[in-house]
Each structure stands twice: as structure tokens, then as C-alpha cells.
Amino acid sequence: MAHRFHSHAIQWQILDRNGTPASGVDPGWKDTVLVQPGETVRFMGHFDPVVNSGKYMYHCHILEHEDAGMMGTFEVK
């Protein structure tokens, strides 16, 4: 099943899907990144170390998945 990766307070730019460069609707800033079953998506965000340092929450945007544990945090230093 597909998952909708989302994190708060930051946006992403998709680099590639399974090694294929972003194309179609993928280029541009995204609030949420759709990840298909078995797919690897590489994406990047811009973090200013002074303005954006701290902890960020990420989760699947499908509530049942989030409730089942598809969530976590990462820290920008």
C-alpha cells in the first residue's frame, strides 16, 4: 500500500524514485511525498542551521498508519 510521508514545518523536493530523476508532478516543493509499495524515494529539504535547528516530527499521513506507529522524529543541529 502507498504511504504519504509528511513532516511538520518543512517542505521537500523529490530527487528521484527508485533512482529515476523526478519528473511529471514530482518537481517542486512538496508538503507530502507519496511513496508507492516497494518504492524508494529520495528527497531533500532546506534547513537553515540557525533558524531551523530542533526536532521535527514525521509520519504517514494515513491516520491508521500513524496510529500503528508510522511516525518518528529527526533532529536538525
CB of 48 to Cu ion, least distance (A): 29
Grid cell, residue 40, equals 524508494
In the complex with Cu ion, which residue's Cβ is closer, 47 or 66?
66
Binding site for Cu ion (CB under 5 A): 3, 60, 62, 65
C-beta of 70: minimal distance to Cu ion in Å?
Answer: 5
Amino acid at 23: S
Nearer to Cu ion, 16 or 66 (CB): 66
Q: Which is nearer to Cu ion, 50 or 63 (CB)?
A: 63
DSSP string, 5-68: EEETT--EEEEEETTEEP-TT-SSEESEEEE-TT--EEEE----TTTS-EEEEEEESSHHHHHT
- Smallest distance, Cu ion to C-beta of residue 14, A: 17
